[in-house]
Amino acid sequence: MTVILKRLSIADAEDLYQFESENRAFFEKSVPSRGDDYYDYNKFIIILDSLLEEQDNGECNFYLIKNEIGTILGRMNIVDIDPSNGHGNLGYRVGYSYTGKGVASQALKLLKEMIIQENSIKLLSAKTTVDNIGSQKVLEKNGFKVDNQSKGLNEKINDQYHEFIYYYRSFN
């Protein structure tokens, strides 16, 4: 399967809303809920506009992971970008129907190539739960290292505590 990484735009609103709605239950098993407002289309558009404004201001980069015919397979984001040191936080999610097919690995490889070309991000941080072996493999396959100082920290997601593994990747 060919994977394409495309910068998020307002033109993607309907398809993204459908993707997020279809995968809500799957995503909420492992990440905090985005809340019911996110799944009301009118409120979703307001939220999306706000995210696109943050993107335009250089605070974050939002990408859609698509296949060759334009179907959304997932998302990949760099958030909390600090322009003073080039540090950002990586997040990604792949729809239920596309997990285990190398989609996230291919998309992260494309993102790394973009980062190297643009030369604006110097360090990416990421985290995943200790039981999300697939995500750990995606990160490690793409050169991310475990941050041993943060290993094993717990965070609350959907009223349950989860143990996380923290990763980083330098682009210097």
CATH number at residue 161: 3.40.630.30
User: Which DSSP state fits 161?
Assistant: E
pLDDT for the residue numbered 35: 85
| Number of domains present in the structure of the chain | 1
Structure tokens at 75: 């998302």
Expressed as residue numbers, the domain containing 76 is 4-170
pLDDT for the residue numbered 33: 78
pLDDT for the residue numbered 31: 75
pLDDT for the residue numbered 28: 85
pLDDT for the residue numbered 152: 57
pLDDT in tens, the chain (172 residues): 899 999 999 999 999 999 999 999 998 877 777 888 899 999 999 999 999 999 999 899 999 999 999 999 999 999 999 989 999 999 999 999 999 999 999 999 999 999 988 878 999 999 988 888 999 999 999 999 998 766 555 665 656 666 888 999 999 7
How far are the Cα atoms of 11, 47, 91, 137 from residue 14, in angstroms, in the given order?
A: 8, 13, 21, 31
Structure tokens at 166: 């923290």
Return the SS3 of 73: strand
